Structure 1
Amino acid sequence: MSEAFGFRTFGGPEVQEFFDRPDPVPSPAEVLVRVTAAGVNPLDFKLRSGALPGFYGERPFPQVMGAEAAGVVLAVGSEVEGLAVGDAVFGMAYTGAGAYARTTLLLGSHTARKPEGLRDDWAATIPVAATSALDAVDQLDLPEGTTVLINGVGGGVGIATAQVARDRGLNVIGTGGPTKRALAEAVGVTFVDYTEGPVVPRLRDLAPDGVDGLVDLVGGASLRTVAPLVREPKYIVSVTDGTVTELGGEMVRRRAARADLERAAALMVEGRLDPHVVRTYPLARSAEALALLEDGHAVGKIVIDMTE
């Protein structure tokens, strides 16, 4: 039996609880890992709320929270190639086994060996946050010297997206609340605080002819407010809002396969991408970590450290 944090019914934070479960058994395509670190993401509380039914297919309760994990391989399915028991790895818990747990399952094809010199807490930010950033910037495929607007730049995905874009030679403008400014500006973002009055006129001052691309991390009315600033709607990519197609844009095309994980890890090892893990919490304080993100007060990336 091993400890896990999850929920037995969909709802708000009140449905979250700790429970013990048997170590899951890997299918031929999976690996069982002892989790050392788990990334905290908006995806986690959206799944708990029931807002994304069928994301993992039909899953029985109780469900374990968390999608990003770093850890050590304990068992390997018969069809998994390139991984062995004892390997330090990181990947996404696509199968819904959850990352807020002492042990979990990862798809072998979406799991990579952790390179020498990469911290576990950094590795645990790659499967969702860093690969989302890579996917969004890849999808826009803007030429060097052009300008991208990141709508909602202060969280884990936004900060990673800003760094990937800057690494490609793009000019980056970002929107966010006042607590996000310092970190956004530290990674080279020209920041616009949405609490200081209408956003569009200030963005127009920065980009009188509009921007070349938009990565949206907020959705809803916020997306619709800034979308007209993009000169060609096909260069709008949203990570959160499927209705972006009504504006002429696209949802991000997610991959997170082993090659993508390895590419993000290499950027971190080379010093070109810093996930800015600003806080770590032990598993016992998972609810506190998640609440900070769900309340919108998180800056940078939050990680659960399973070794504490």
Structure 2
Amino acid sequence: MTRVAVATAFGGPEVVEIVDEALAKPAAGQVLVEVKAIGVNPFDYKLYSGAFGSDESTLPLHLGSEASGIVRAVGAAAEGPGGPVSVGDEVIVSGATSAYAETVLVPADAVLPKPASLGWEAAAGLLVVAGTSYDTLEVTGVGNGDTVLVHGAAGGVGSIVVQQATARGARVIGTARAVNHDALRAWGAEPVEYGDGLLDRVKALAPNGVDAAIDTVGTDEAVDVSLALVPDRARIVTIAAFERAAEEGFASVGGGNQESAKRRKAARLDLVNSAGAGDFTVTVAKTFPLADAAQAHRELAGGHPRGKFVLIP
């Protein structure tokens, strides 16, 4: 048996419960992982909010897509992106469907070797934000010499975009609350506060123009400023403002986009190794016991500290 967080109905975080479930032994190509930490993402609570439908036949909904832990059992021919998977391996789980658990049974393809330099919490919160960031940079073709505007630059995804874009040789201007400006400077970005007058503040920093814009917040302000500053709409991307992207003719990633999913999956091992080498870091804002998954969702949906939320079984 294992304790698992599930949504027993559609609604708010109050529908999340902890239940006991039986676990099967790994079949061929499967891996059983004792979970040490679990990454929390907005998609997790949107899943039971009704945003993607409310078919009651799908209940209870299992939550969570990413985690870190130790392999406790393997089926035959269990081979992941990093090679054969063995009992005792420290791993990162990516693309699971029930990661909010003490123990999780997943396909071996969902398991990647955890670098020793990464702690359990940072490893658990790594691949959703790093994969999303990588996706935005690939779509917009950010490279050496570009000036890039990043909206929500201190957020979970935005902070990785800043680090990866500067590593590519780009100049980054990032929007954030004033309290997060020192963190942006430490990552190599030039911070600017969002809100009234944002367009003029960015123009003052970049009088020669902005080459690309990456929106991680989805506000009309972010979209409008991006459209006003970036001449080539192919170099604007959002991870949240899907309707505006469709209306205005610029790119969006995620949200069921199959090309995005392919890019992110192909990049997983490189991203893990890059994080292990210290090329970028994931900030863990707060940890919660697995039993407090509903509270983690309440706080994540509102104002919260910079960085990722992580559950500990």
Q: Distance in 2 between matches of 1:182 and 1:143?
A: 24
Give the SS at the match of 2:101: coil
**Distance apart, 1:275 and its partner CA:** 0.5
What is the one-letter code of the residue matched to 2:277?
E
Match of 1:124 in 2: 124
Alignment of 1:38-187 (within 5 A): 38-53=38-53, 60-78=58-76, 80-81=78-79, 82-94=84-96, 96=97, 98-187=98-187
Is the contact between residue 130 and residue 157 of structure 1 (CA under 8 Å) also seen in structure 2?
yes
* Structure 1 range deviating more: 152-161 or 77-86: 77-86
Give the SS at the match of 2:58: coil
Match of 2:256 in 1: none
**Distance apart, 1:35 and its partner CA:** 0.9
**Distance apart, 1:43 and its partner CA:** 1.4
What runs of 5+ residues in structure 2 fail to find an aligned partner?
Answer: 254-259
What runs of 5+ residues in structure 1 fail to find an aligned partner?
Answer: none
Q: Distance in 1 between matches of 2:143 and 2:56?
A: 42
Give the SS at the match of 1:219: coil
Is the contact between residue 12 and residue 49 of structure 2 (CA under 8 Å) also seen in structure 1?
yes
What is the one-letter code of the residue matched to 1:146?
D
> Runs of 4+ in structure 1 displaced over 6 angstroms?
none
- Listed one character per residue, the Cα deviations across residues 270-301 of structure 1 (whole Å, up to 9, x for unaligned) are 22111111322222332332222110323112
What is the one-letter code of the residue matched to 2:140?
L
Q: Distance in 2 between matches of 1:103 and 1:93?
A: 15
Q: Distance in 2 between matches of 1:70 and 1:268?
A: 14
Call closer, same or farther: CA 1:91–1:183 in 2, change over 3 Å. Answer: same
**Distance apart, 1:124 and its partner CA:** 0.9
- Listed one character per residue, the Cα deviations across residues 135-158 of structure 1 (whole Å, up to 9, x for unaligned) are 221222223021111111222111
Alignment of 1:223-234 (within 5 A): 223-228=222-227, 229-234=229-234
Call closer, same or farther: CA 1:30–1:135 in 2, change over 3 Å. Answer: farther
Match of 1:276 in 2: 283
* Structure 1 range deviating more: 245-254 or 117-126: 245-254
Q: Distance in 1 between matches of 2:190 and 2:150?
A: 10
Is the contact between residue 6 and residue 16 of structure 2 (CA under 8 Å) also seen in structure 1?
yes
Match of 2:268 in 1: 261
What is the one-letter code of the residue matched to 2:86?
A
**Distance apart, 1:47 and its partner CA:** 1.3
TM-score calculated relative to the size of structure 1: 0.87
Match of 1:222 in 2: 221
Aligned length: 300
**Distance apart, 1:6 and its partner CA:** 2.5
Identity of aligned residues (%): 36
Q: Distance in 1 between matches of 2:211 and 2:200?
A: 17
